Structure 1
Amino acid sequence: MDSHHFLQTAVVFLLATVIAVPLTKRFRLGAVLGYLLAGVVIGPQLLGLVSETGGVAAISEFGVVLMLFVIGLELSPQRLWVMRRSVFGTGLLQVLASCVAIGAAAYFLVGLTGKAAAIVGGSLALSSTAFGLQILAERKEAGSAYGRQVFSILLFQDLAAIPLIAAVPLLASSNAQNFELFGVLRTVGVIVAVVAGGRYLLRPVFRFVARADSVEVFTATALLVVMGVAWLMELAGVSATLGAFLAGMLLADSEYRHELESNIEPFKGLLLGLFFISVGMSMDLSLLLHRPGLIFGLVAALLLLKGLLLWPLGRLLGGLNRSDTLRLVVLLACGGEFAFVVLRQAAEQQLIGVGQRDALVLAITLTMALTPLLVVLAAKALNVHPRKPGREFDDIDADTPRVIIAGFGRVGQIIARVLRAQGIPFVALEHSAEQVDVSRRFGSINLFFGDPGRPELLRAAQAARAEVFVLATDDPEANLRTARLVRRHYPHLKIVARARNRQHVFRLMDMGVDDPVRETFHSSLKMTRKTLEALGLSPERAADRVERFRRYDEDLLKKQALVYDDETKLIQSTRDALVDLQQLFEADAEPGAERAREKDLAEPVRPD
């Protein structure tokens, strides 16, 4: 491709993206649908502005590789083990049930071979992670009961996509049983070699690069790791996406996790956008004109079959009510982006025909395009509306702060008053316009109306130069969203976070926020101490009892943080803790306990 042709193609891609994506996002249909529509318009089916789709598809598939790397970064083996019940329970059943049902329909009703039916069933069982997580984030429902179930199922689907992609060449070349056995052994051997090598090589490499203190070199190293592992896996005849996922998991527990995410995220977003544009370009729209019954029949059958299988999973295993189950079904009934990769490989390996691939790709794309519309219709039927700001955000104009305060309610105001009295410069961001107006009447300075979870507002507030970020917002979901953003883009900031309850604390700790402050915990301890004193205990004895409980509860909190996704273990640990605490206080009444109490009282007590 000459330079003139390359520049022309790049301009067409960017122009189509700039026009299509904002339009679809304005109507709350998501960016992915915008990319698909942009690909359809500029592709050979309509305007024909870009006719060479092969090279674009090859480059764009690296976006899927980067997405698997980021997913791997989010999943340390310890976290995956903690989430095993929801991920490997509900997620596994969904994939197996959908795969068997769709595969059986393809085998008995359509007449596909056993291998082709297995590939089609597995690919159509997957849903769109890009659509699902984006819609949950936009509607601020990722932390809801159904949002957590959706995340668990999508997570297992992403894990299942890796062996499914790896299985396509094995199924295509398994005419000889010995060769199939050799292929399986080779795959296992390469995985073991990558895991063993990565465990002992990756962290020392990143420590060496980190000493250079160069963001560009660190980003280049991260891309080198992803591309290098993917290339090695491909050389060995194994899926490149599997290599990227393994590399991410190996670095999930490292101290560089958040910095890696923030560096890879822009490349992942751009290449995933290019991937969806290439899918739109490759869609055979003539099938809609010549065989509309087949295409719309496939769309209806896929949505209906997956919906019927998802409903009992949400109601019985997920424990969701009817409205939340409906939201889960609407989000997960569509096809997914990994199906495009699997079906393309299956057609190249001649497991399915090109016409069958084109029909399935078009049907999957239509189900994905319908998903945002179905979400909006379901929300209207359930009378659920996403929150919108009442006015434009303020332009932030302030001196370089040492502290950024997110949220200017009761907690944020007290922190700001102390900082101002100490002469410490700060900037406060508050998402409630009414709260900003009220506070400004009392002379509050450096307070601006805006969403602290917006990257552009954090840049305007000079977060890159600040030292401490105080999360004082009273909305747990907004709090978590902002913490995740700050961790990714400003890993140098020390985060002091307000937490609503124990679940909120667990999720903040999961992001690497040290010692979140429970908003009612210390005030409750002080009230407990006053209650004990009112009942006749001496101030020293009351303070001792409260301090014992505080230390015991904080230790318990750290232990429960490891199992908070497992409801059964969480309930059992709470019951065990109640018995242990009762035994601890009963031991105080024994004759020999007085000396131990005096020793404890001699230790300094943390102030409330």
Structure 2
Amino acid sequence: MGNHETLQTALIFLVAIVIAVPLSARLKLGSVLGYLLAGVVIGPAGCGWITDTEGVSTISEFGVVLMLFVIGLELSPRRLWVMRRYVFGTGLLQVLTSSVVLGACGYVFAGLSAAASAIIGGSLALSSTAFGLQILAERKEAGSAYGRQAFAILLFQDLAAIPLIAAVPLLADNTALHAQHPASVMKTVAVILAVVVGGRYLLRPVFRFVARSRQVEVSTATALVVVMGTAWLMEVGGVSTTLGAFLAGMLLADSEYRHELESNIEPFKGLLLGLFFISVGMTMNLPLLLHSPLLILGLVLALLAVKGALLWPLGRWISGLSRTDALRLSALLACGGEFAFVVLRQATEQGLVETAISDALTLAITVSMALTPLLVLGVAMVLNRAARDGGSHREFDAIDTGPPKVIIAGFGRMGQIVGRVLRAQRIPFVALESSVDQVESSRRFGSVDLYFGDPSRVELLRAAQADKAEVFVLTADDPEVNLRIAELVRREFPNLKIVARARNRQHAFRLLDLGIAQPVRETFYSSLKMTRQTLELLGLSPAYAADRVERFRRHDDQLLQTQAQLLDDEGKLVQSAQEALVDLQDLFEADAEPRAEHEREKMAVQGES
């Protein structure tokens, strides 16, 4: 291939990525699907702009090696131990049950051999890590109960992919395996021991030496040498290159250079992994979809139905998720995954799986991945509609407790903390929450003072005996709902003291306008604590740092009260902010004078004594 052809090929790849991936991301279908579509368009089945699919596949497989290295970097033994129940409990059960059921379907209904059924069942049991994590991040649900469980299952699937990939050549050549069993085993063990020992005692001194050079390009080259060298050594020993990369990553997971390694590898991993997905799209058998649409559709539906049906009870009964969260987990992880492409391609090359079967399964996996964002979105819409309908028809919980001293409206993150402290102080309270899922989730941890109901309804507040309470804690997350409840309480229960959560400064202004004297800005006090720690780390004494932060807090509280009176005049509002900054600087400069500093230090010593 000449220079002209090389540049043309590179340009085609880059243009396809630049167009397809952002378009797919804008449609909320995920970047992986964008890469696959780009490969379909530029490949032999599309426009035919790229015909050397073998050469592209050879280069792109290194992206999978880099991905396994990065996964290994993320799996420190400490992190695995913390997540052991979810990773090695639910994750192991999901992979085993899905592999057995899907493999048995292939053996019984498709007449596959036992070895082929095992490999196909194992590959189809894996879900898309790239799709799953991206969807959770886009929907801001990675920290939810089902999001954490999904991450644990995906983590185990990534671990399970390593022996699955390594098993393909062994299952494909049983006779050779038995013929040279002792030598092969000894060679494999020696190579793995060399990687483990060398990685533990050699890699860290090497990275320490390279770090002293302070040359970014040298650090990047060293990281690539480690990955490629370990992969090559494993291949020489007859072991999967991906297993070598994964082991190298795990050996460096607790290293102080882990984050630097990850940042150096990430650009290469992302580009080469994208190239791998493009190569999968290029080799996709599109005529098969046109000639046998019912076959592909049947495979897709069977895959989604079987995996979804197995995931739901695992999430519901093993992980203790609510019904809705278990359904969300099933929708997210029912699809096939990117590792299945690697396994099926290797199985086809080894002659373990026929090309026609591999093509059909690859196509079905791709379609299932494409349907996943739509499936997750559809399930969320159905559940949200059901929650609204169920909430409007469901009776409020009967509140049968004695008169509380405190009423908490909203039992999310902030409400739960308030409730825990009140309970520890044996202060009677009633918490009201309008989300059925939140109520069910909190009650699993013994929240006996929590009741389902809409705190913006006056009849519920009367049932909670708000007229006999002393304090009303308003922690509702939605600012509009928050303000509506505050206005209702102010009007119906004027003697009730209100402590209200404010999302931001504008929300605080509106609460002040309702007569709530001190709205609690949800990020304000945590920011002040971060500022104090920053000042202390810069060498300021704890007393001096606390004094600086406290002065700023008082100054900003006064500014908040002043600006609340100027909301209708934007010019005066801007002017007050500018003047406040000058006043704060003058205040700090005055405090920096020797006499003022001496008085402050004297007061600090007296306070400590």
Aligned residue in 2 for 1:270: 271
Specify whether residues 255 and 296 from structure 1 end up closer, same or farther in structure 2 by C-alpha distance, changes over 3 A only: same
More deviation, 71-80/96-105: 71-80
Aligned residue in 1 for 2:47: 47
What is the Cα deviation at residue 371 of structure 1? 0.7
- Cα pair 1:42 1:50 within 8 Å, conserved: yes
1:481-496 paired onto structure 2 within 5 Å: none
Q: Find out whether 1:253 has 2:254 as its counterpart.
A: yes
Aligned residue in 2 for 1:588: none
Could you report, residue by residue, the CA deviation over 1:371-420 in whole angstroms, capped at 9, with x for unpaired residues?
A: 111112122223399x9xxxxxxxxxxxxxxxxxxx96344368779989
- Name the SS for the 2:202 alignment partner: helix
Could you report, residue by residue, the CA deviation over 1:284-307 in whole angstroms, capped at 9, with x for unpaired residues?
A: 000011111211111111110001
Aligned residue in 2 for 1:217: 218
Q: Find out whether 1:120 has 2:109 as its counterpart.
A: no
1:77-92 paired onto structure 2 within 5 Å: 77-92=77-92
Greater C-alpha radius of gyration: 2
Percent identity reads 68
Distance in structure 1 (CA, Å) of the matches to 2:118 and 2:46? 34
Aligned residue in 2 for 1:56: 56
Aligned residue in 1 for 2:538: none
Specify whether residues 409 and 441 from structure 1 end up closer, same or farther in structure 2 by C-alpha distance, changes over 3 A only: farther
1:358-397 paired onto structure 2 within 5 Å: 358-383=359-384
Aligned residue in 1 for 2:321: 320
1:171-570 paired onto structure 2 within 5 Å: 171-175=171-175, 177-180=178-181, 182-383=183-384, 409-412=524-527, 442-443=576-577
Distance in structure 2 (CA, Å) of the matches to 1:271 and 1:606? 61
- Cα pair 1:170 1:180 within 8 Å, conserved: no
TM-score (norm: length of structure 2): 0.65
Q: Tell me how large the CA RMSD over aligned residues is.
A: 3.2
Distance in structure 2 (CA, Å) of the matches to 1:291 and 1:258? 47
What is the Cα deviation at residue 180 of structure 1? 4.6
What is the Cα deviation at residue 320 of structure 1? 0.6
Q: Find out whether 1:148 has 2:148 as its counterpart.
A: yes
Aligned residue in 2 for 1:5: 5
Aligned residue in 2 for 1:403: none
Amino acid at match of 1:355: A
Amino acid at match of 2:270: G
Could you report, residue by residue, the CA deviation over 1:229-250 in whole angstroms, capped at 9, with x for unpaired residues?
A: 0111112111111111111111
Distance in structure 1 (CA, Å) of the matches to 2:273 and 2:607? 50
Aligned residue in 1 for 2:157: 157
- Name the SS for the 2:44 alignment partner: coil
Aligned residue in 2 for 1:579: none
What is the Cα deviation at residue 189 of structure 1? 3.3
What is the Cα deviation at residue 351 of structure 1? 0.7
Distance in structure 2 (CA, Å) of the matches to 1:279 and 1:445? 61
Distance in structure 1 (CA, Å) of the matches to 2:121 and 2:201? 38
Distance in structure 1 (CA, Å) of the matches to 2:238 and 2:124? 24
- Name the SS for the 2:127 alignment partner: coil
Amino acid at match of 2:49: L
What is the Cα deviation at residue 605 of structure 1? 13
- Name the SS for the 1:85 alignment partner: helix
Distance in structure 2 (CA, Å) of the matches to 1:605 and 1:69? 56
Aligned residue in 1 for 2:137: 137
Distance in structure 2 (CA, Å) of the matches to 1:340 and 1:273? 13
Amino acid at match of 1:34: G
- Cα pair 1:95 1:125 within 8 Å, conserved: yes
Q: Find out whether 1:25 has 2:7 as its counterpart.
A: no
- Cα pair 1:45 1:285 within 8 Å, conserved: yes
Distance in structure 2 (CA, Å) of the matches to 1:181 and 1:103? 30
Aligned residue in 2 for 1:67: 67
Amino acid at match of 1:196: V
What is the Cα deviation at residue 22 of structure 1? 1.2
Amino acid at match of 1:208: F
Aligned residue in 2 for 1:535: none
Aligned residue in 2 for 1:529: none
Distance in structure 2 (CA, Å) of the matches to 1:342 and 1:132? 19
Specify whether residues 445 and 190 from structure 1 end up closer, same or farther in structure 2 by C-alpha distance, changes over 3 A only: farther
Specify whether residues 414 and 360 from structure 1 end up closer, same or farther in structure 2 by C-alpha distance, changes over 3 A only: closer
Could you report, residue by residue, the CA deviation over 1:57-98 in whole angstroms, capped at 9, with x for unpaired residues?
A: 111111111111111111112221232211111011000001
Amino acid at match of 1:443: A
- Name the SS for the 1:142 alignment partner: coil
Distance in structure 2 (CA, Å) of the matches to 1:97 and 1:182? 34
What is the Cα deviation at residue 21 of structure 1? 1.1
Distance in structure 2 (CA, Å) of the matches to 1:93 and 1:239? 25
TM-score (norm: length of structure 1): 0.65
Distance in structure 1 (CA, Å) of the matches to 2:314 and 2:279? 34
Distance in structure 2 (CA, Å) of the matches to 1:8 and 1:151? 40
What is the Cα deviation at residue 138 of structure 1? 1.5
Distance in structure 2 (CA, Å) of the matches to 1:106 and 1:207? 51
- Cα pair 1:174 1:180 within 8 Å, conserved: no
Provide structure 1 residue ranges, at least 5 long, that are not aligned to the other structure. Answer: 388-406, 424-433, 448-603
Amino acid at match of 1:361: T
- Cα pair 1:88 1:156 within 8 Å, conserved: yes
Distance in structure 2 (CA, Å) of the matches to 1:262 and 1:446? 41
What is the Cα deviation at residue 178 of structure 1? 4.1
- How many residue pairs were aligned? 423
Aligned residue in 2 for 1:167: 167
What is the Cα deviation at residue 3 of structure 1? 1.4
Amino acid at match of 2:232: W
Distance in structure 2 (CA, Å) of the matches to 1:308 and 1:218? 47
Amino acid at match of 1:29: L
Specify whether residues 255 and 303 from structure 1 end up closer, same or farther in structure 2 by C-alpha distance, changes over 3 A only: same
Specify whether residues 330 and 188 from structure 1 end up closer, same or farther in structure 2 by C-alpha distance, changes over 3 A only: farther
- Cα pair 1:74 1:249 within 8 Å, conserved: yes
Amino acid at match of 1:26: R
Distance in structure 1 (CA, Å) of the matches to 2:171 and 2:280? 24
- Cα pair 1:170 1:183 within 8 Å, conserved: no
What is the Cα deviation at residue 179 of structure 1? 3.1
Aligned residue in 2 for 1:488: none
- Name the SS for the 1:383 alignment partner: helix
Could you report, residue by residue, the CA deviation over 1:243-279 in whole angstroms, capped at 9, with x for unpaired residues?
A: 1111111111111111111111111111111111111
- Cα pair 1:136 1:142 within 8 Å, conserved: yes
- Cα pair 1:75 1:249 within 8 Å, conserved: yes
- Name the SS for the 1:412 alignment partner: helix
Specify whether residues 189 and 408 from structure 1 end up closer, same or farther in structure 2 by C-alpha distance, changes over 3 A only: same
Amino acid at match of 1:359: A
Provide structure 2 residue ranges, at least 5 long, that are not aligned to the other structure. Answer: 388-476, 478-521, 536-544, 550-562, 582-604
- Cα pair 1:347 1:357 within 8 Å, conserved: yes
Q: Find out whether 1:98 has 2:213 as its counterpart.
A: no
What is the Cα deviation at residue 192 of structure 1? 2.2
Distance in structure 1 (CA, Å) of the matches to 2:242 and 2:580? 47
